[in-house]
């Protein structure tokens, strides 16, 4: 599990993430004040990705694609609530992590227990 450390309080962020297999995923995060929350889009070569989904506190926000892609993303919120503040990433209240194949197996065990 690798922490994504380049996140700031900027309301629109684009980040390139190198995955364990050497491919790159593009992560876009956007804060929408009227919806009081963060939304994410993810693309990767060979996968159509997801677009403008609400970011939630989850062991794997991409779990529904577990048989399609070899990675995932965990969103961890320190207080157990949801990412709803513009400064969530800059204060460390919310952390995002890239999950590799081994992490996905661990998360599946965690989710099913």
Q: What are 56-73's pLDDT values in tens digits?
A: 999 999 999 988 999 999
Q: Which domain holds residue 53?
A: 2-112
Tell me the pLDDT tens digit for each residue of 9-43.
Answer: 999 999 999 999 899 999 999 999 999 999 999 99
| 3-state secondary structure at position 88 | helix
User: 52, 37 in Cβ contact below 8 A?
Assistant: no
| Mean pLDDT, range 77-99, rounded to an integer | 97
Please tell me the distance from the alpha carbon of residue 83 to that of residue 60, in angstroms, as a whole number: 15
Count the domains in the chain.
Answer: 1
Does the predicted model carry a pTM greater than 0.85? yes
């Amino acid at each position: 599990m690798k922490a994504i450390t380049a996140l700031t309080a900027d309301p629109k962020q684009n980040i390139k993430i190198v995955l364990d297999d050497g491919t790159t995923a593009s992560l876009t995060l956007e804060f929408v004040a009227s919806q009081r929350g963060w939304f994410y889009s993810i693309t990767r070569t060979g996968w159509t990705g997801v677009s403008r989904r609400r970011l939630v506190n989850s062991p794997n926000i991409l779990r529904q694609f577990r048989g399609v892609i070899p990675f995932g993303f965990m969103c961890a919120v320190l207080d157990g609530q949801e990412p709803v503040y513009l400064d969530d990433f800059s204060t460390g209240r919310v952390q995002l992590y890239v999950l590799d194949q081994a992490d996905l197996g661990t998360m599946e065990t965690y989710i099913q227990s």
